[in-house]
Each structure stands twice: as structure tokens, then as C-alpha cells.
Amino acid sequence: MYKHLPDFGISNKILLVEDDPSYVRLVEIMLEQSDLGECEITNVSTLADGLKALKEGNYAAILLDLNLPDSTGFETLETFLTHYPNNNIIVLTGASDKYLGLKAVKAGAQDYLEKGEFDFPQLAKSLRFSIERSNILSRLEDAQRIAKIGHWECRLNKEFFFASNEVYRIFNLDPVEAKFVYADLKNPENPLHVLIQMEEEAKLLGISKREERIVIRNGSTRFISLTCKATRNSLGHYHFNGILQDITEQKRAEEMRNARDLAQESAKIKEQVIANVSHEMRTPMNAILGMTNLLLPMVKEKEEYEYVYSIKQSSEVLLGIINDILHVSAYQNNEIHFSSNAFNLTTVMQDLMEAMRPKAQEKKLDFDLFLPSGLHQQIIGDKLRLNQILYNLVGNAIKFTDKGGVKVKIEILRQTIDFLELRFSIKDSGIGIPDSELESIFETFTRISRKDRVTEGTGLGLAITKKIIEQQGGKIQVVSQLGSGSVFYFDLMFELAPETQLKNKPYKENNSAKDSSTLSFSVLIVEDHKMNQLVIQRTLEKHWKNVKVIVTSNGDEAIEVLEKQSVDIILMDLQMPIRDGFETTNYIRKNMPVQIAQTPILAMTAHHMISQQEKFSRYGLDDYVLKPFDPEQLFEKIEFHLARKALKNA
């Protein structure tokens, strides 16, 4: 026995199938005298023992005597090739069987040696070639395993079939135990039956290609790519060879890409539907809220006032639901944009308290604001988003508190020359949140349910708030005790601005007129919705006694009016037939005389994303008012732009 030879990188085990002890010893002596180095010889004396040895181990070469006790002649080789076609077989023949040796090589043997005629250099040469070939085949096997590619071949005239080990592995079969012969493949239940199904198409076309979905032995699904090529010899016999590849991972990746593309397309369609539905819902809401705002000051009877006020409150709740759905949809698709402007933090907090105080007073709640001493007044950030966060959290605190009060507090966590980190906390004495719900309250459509109270809302507010805070690099947390109230707090970083710098002042601070009701100006309303035309016109005429209102239904009508006369300000709906608001504004800016082209134009739109997209400024619009509009906000913006126009013309 000889051991592993490291020179060739493969186990140099040689199987000698020979029943003559003298030749066995001769081969051993020759190998000792050769330059092969150390190798290991296993000797068996029958065909059956040889097949058993190959089943149990791998051999770099097989020295095969064709005349054995249980098999003689060429059939011995055929039996070996049928079961192990990829092994290196060197046939040992008698001196009179040279023709048999040549026939063996043609059938698939690597070489043949005539007993009594070969010497140790010849033997060493044949074995060396076998070992090198085994090394190459081993690397090929490794490459096939990595690439998940196997090869196979069939010869119909001899019903011969061979498949590489990777073919069996792809079908989750043991390459040693499941060595199939051609007859096995004819059974439709055989896993490799799919290979011979391609033969007829390959005969007609020369090559057949297909992809198949298979269920392997462990019940899992795989996808395979199959190629079968047909060749025909001079005798008319067909020979098939092919490649089989496991493409499951590629298919899964393709399915994931398709699913992603479908999801993205669905999201786009959903966003478009939501945007359209939003516009269609917000437009009539503008008319309802506008009419109630006009009607409330006119109602004298208490009962009638309560009816109108209930309509207004219900409309505001419905509008809040619409806004929540729109906001959460936008944030989930990362469509939120943040601005960075200087603003007065104290003013923002005082405005918040003034806006929310009536709701607290209705429930007779204490409502207090605590600001730290030395707070830097001018900070840079997104005032709109900060307001959105605070209005949501303070609104919730008031909503879920029936007695006691709500406290809003700001603390300075860290301050440098350029930056300020603040903690905003909103503490209430309300119903509190159960421990089991603390983790889920920031998820979409989550609401705190109580048997003894009906709570309005969609359950989206806190999810939206969390998104806004986290996308600005902050975090929000909550501490609560059931029945004793809650504290919501969040941390945000702001850049410090010079105390003299002040952007985004409230519009009313920019208007020097003390009594704006005496203003005299002309306004062009461009709006296709008849009810909204009436609401806007009546709202303006009730606030300003000397206002001249001109109403048009689309962009073309507006241009016709402006070609005949100038106006002081234009209120422009964006979604209109014939010529929409963007096109109309663009035409006014580029094609009208300078006096007309410089007229302030305010977009009046139901599309809530207009401020984030900054589309209004790109088209030459000066500002925007969202529908349903807040009358006070509309008045302030009109006054601001009229004042700015007056300064430019001074």
C-alpha cells in the first residue's frame, strides 16, 4: 500500500481489478520503481468487487483486466462505463487482444496496456495522465458545483446515459446512489425524465432550450434551465448532450424585481388616486366650510347657531381625516421635504397656545407654556413641520384629557455657538395609555379605544408625527400611566440664527395698516367651481367694504380680463379646464405687459403637496392658500402681498 501523493493535488488512489496475483505484484513493483512517488493501490479480483469499491470511494485511475471470474471480454468494460462513465479506466489486455484494447479506447477507456509488453515507464505515463485528468475533472466538478451547472449525454443506439454529479445535486439526489441508466429516464416518475422529453424537439431543430419549474425530493421548488443538442452520425444514430443549470436564485431575484416594480407602480397609481380624490373632496369641503364661516356671524338664534357650528366642527373633523391620509401616504413614500428658514421660536409657541386655548377652555382645562430662560429666539429649521408636530401632540393631549390640564414645555439639552438641541414635552392629566399599547401607538391606524368614550380620528396622527421627527434626525418617546396621564417628548436640533435675522414673520406683522378693513383694491378670482367662486367672493366682500371682485371660470377668461384692465392681486385655482392655473400664470408672467405680469398671484389649491414640491414658485406663483382655506390666513396673505407690491412701486 502507498499513500497520498501531494504533487498532483488529488488522492492518488488506484483501483487494480485483476485476479492474477503475479500481475498484481508486478504492478506494485513497477510503481515502486517509477517517478510517481507514493500512491495507494486497492486490488480486487472480480467485477462485482470492483463496482463495489468504486461506489465506496474515489479513485484517480482504474487498471482493469477484461477477463475476470465473473465477466469476460468487452462486456467488462461496458459494465464499468455504464455505471461510472467519468472514471479513468486503463484496460489491461493480453498480447493477442490488441484489437480489443483499441476498441476499448474508442468506447471510452483512457488507454490500454498489453500484459507482458509494458514496462514501468509506460505504466507510470498512463497513470500520470489519469491522475492529471482526475485533477482537472475535480476542478471542473468544483466549478460546476459553484455555478450550479451540470452536463449530461445520451446515446440512443446503446441506451447510454451519463450525467455529472451536479445534475443529481440540483435534483437533490445523491450522485453515488442515484446513478441512472437510460432505461430509468423513460419512467415519467423519474426526476430526470424531463431530459429525454427534449429529444424529439432537438431532433427537429438541432437544439432545444427551455426553463422548467420542478419540485425536488424535499418538497421545495426549483427553477432549471435546460439545453439539449442533437447530433447524428453516419449510421443515423442520435447522440444527445446538454447542460442543466439551477436558476432558482435568478428567478427569485427576477420575481422580487417584478414585485418591486409592481409595488412601485401600484404606489404611483395609489398616490395619483389619492391626489385626485383629495382634490375632489377638498373642493366641496372648501364650499361647506366657507359657507359656515359666512353664515355663523349672521345667525342670531342660539339653536340655529349650534346647528351651523356643528356643521363646521364636523367638516373640520372630516378635513382632518383627509389630511391625515394624505400626509401618511406621502411620508411612507419619502415624499416629505423640509425647509430651512429662520423663525422666532417664542412667537411660534405663543401662536400655538393661542390657537389651541379655545379647545382647552371648552373643557375647562389648565393650559400652560413653560420656556427656559436665555432661550435663543432666532433658530433655523422647518417651522411648518414643527407646528405640525406640536399641533398634533397638543391636540391629542387636550382631546384625551377631561380634567386637570395640559403643560407644554421646552428644555435646552445642548447648545453650541452654531446649534441648539431642544426637548419639547407635552404633559397631560388625561386617560393615559396601557403598557400593552405603548409600543404600537406610533403605528399607522392605531387608536386607543375606551368603552366609555368615542374618539374621533384615523389613528394616523402619531405615525405622521414620528415620521416627521425621525426624518429630521430626532426621536420621540412617551411615558404614560393608565388613568393618570401621559408625557410625550421629542428632541430636535436647530441651527442658531443671528437675532437680527427674521424670516417667515406672521403676515400681519408685515402689514403696517392698523385697520385693514378700509383697504381699497381689486382682485381677480380664477376658479371653475361655482360654489367656491361664491364663497371666496362673499368672504372677501364681508371683510373689505371697498374691494372690487372680478370672477372668471378658467385661464382663458382670466387672460381676456387682464388684456382689458389691471388688478391688484389674483387668486388662482390650479386645476381648471381649458387652461389650468400653472399655464395661466406662466402666460401672464411671460406674455402680458410688465404692469400686469408683476401682479401678485396666489394659488388657491386643494393639493396639499404644493408647498413641499415648491412647484408654485417655479411657475411664477407668489404664494398659496390651501383649500378649504382659513379666512384669516387668506386675509393676511392678501394684505402682505398688497403691502409688498406697494413698497416695490413706491
597: helix, strand or coil = helix
DSSP tag of 629: P
Q: Which three cell numbers stand for residue 169?
A: 445535486
Contact 323, 281 (CB under 8 A): no
The CATH number that domain 507-649 falls under is 3.40.50.2300
Structural domain boundaries in the chain:
6-144, 148-246, 341-496, 507-649
Q: How confident is the model at residue 1, as a pLDDT?
A: 36
Provide mean pLDDT across the span 304-323: 74
Which pTM value belongs to this model?
0.45
DSSP string, 227-293: EEEEEE-TTS-EEEEEEEEE-HHHHHHHHHHHHHHHHHHHHHHHHHHHHHHHHHHHHHHHHHHHHHH
Distance between CA 305 and CA 298 in Å, rounded?
9
- Buried/exposed code over 413-442 (b: 16+ C-beta within 10 A; e: otherwise): eeeeeeebebbbbbbbbbbbbeeeeeeebb
Q: How confident is the model at residue 72, as a pLDDT?
A: 83
Amino acid at the residue 315: S
pLDDT over threshold 90, residue 521: yes
Q: At what angle do helices 581-591 and 555-564 cross, to 10 degrees?
A: 30
Report the range of poorest mean pLDDT among 5-14, 23-32, 75-84. Answer: 5-14
Please give the C-alpha separations between residue 293 and each of 303, 379, 561, in angstroms, as whole numbers.
17, 35, 29
Residues 333-357: pLDDT tens digits? 555 667 788 888 998 898 888 878 8
> Is the bond preceding 628 in cis, omega lying within 30 degrees of 0?
yes
Tell me which fold the domain 148-246 belongs to.
Beta-Lactamase (3.30.450)
Q: How confident is the model at residue 438, as a pLDDT?
A: 78
Distance between CA 560 and CA 579 in Å, rounded?
12
Contact 31, 65 (CB under 8 A): no
Residue 617: pLDDT band with limits 50, 70, 90: confident
Q: How confident is the model at residue 326, as a pLDDT?
A: 66
Contact 604, 552 (CB under 8 A): no
CB atoms within 10 A of CB 300: 7
Report the range of poorest mean pLDDT among 287-301, 481-495, 533-547. Answer: 287-301
HSE value, Cβ hemisphere, 13 Å, CA-based, for 110: 23
Report the range of poorest mean pLDDT among 59-73, 253-267, 302-316, 527-541. Answer: 302-316
Q: Hey, what CATH class is 341-496 in?
A: alpha beta
482: helix, strand or coil = coil
- Return the CATH number of 6-144, one of 3.40.50.300, 3.40.50.2300, 3.30.2130.10, 3.30.1490.20: 3.40.50.2300
Contact 523, 569 (CB under 8 A): yes
Distance between CA 178 and CA 515 in Å, rounded?
97
DSSP tag of 342: E
Residue 134: pLDDT band with limits 50, 70, 90: low
Distance between CA 477 and CA 489 in Å, rounded?
6
Q: Which three cell numbers stand for residue 420?
A: 441648539
pLDDT over threshold 50, residue 510: no
Q: Which three cell numbers stand for residue 527?
A: 376658479
Q: Which three cell numbers stand for residue 260?
A: 418591486
Provide mean pLDDT across the span 570-595: 91
Fold: same for 148-246 and 341-496: no
pLDDT > 90: what percent of the chain?
A: 20
Q: At what angle do helices 248-295 and 302-332 cross, to 10 degrees?
A: 160
- Find, among 341, 492, 343, the residue nearest to 420 by Cα: 492
Distance between CA 602 and CA 644 in Å, rounded?
13
Distance between CA 36 and CA 537 in Å, rounded?
106
pLDDT over threshold 60, residue 604: yes
Pairing relationship of beta strands 485-496 and 378-381 according to DSSP bridges? antiparallel
Burial of 243 (C-beta count, 10 Å sphere; 0-12/13-18/19+): middle
Alpha-carbon torsion angle 166, 170, 173, 175, nearest 10: 0
Q: Facing residues of 226 across strands?
A: 210, 244
pLDDT over threshold 70, residue 451: no
Q: Which three cell numbers stand for residue 553?
A: 371660470
Q: What is the mean pLDDT of the chain?
A: 80
**Maximum mean pLDDT: which of 117-131, 493-507, 589-603:** 589-603
pLDDT over threshold 50, residue 360: yes
Contact 222, 248 (CB under 8 A): yes
DSSP string, 541-584: HHH-TEEEEEEESSHHHHHHHHHH---SEEEEESS-SSS-HHHH
Contact 54, 89 (CB under 8 A): no
Contacts of 574 (CB under 8 A, 6+ apart): 580, 581, 582, 603, 604, 605, 607, 610
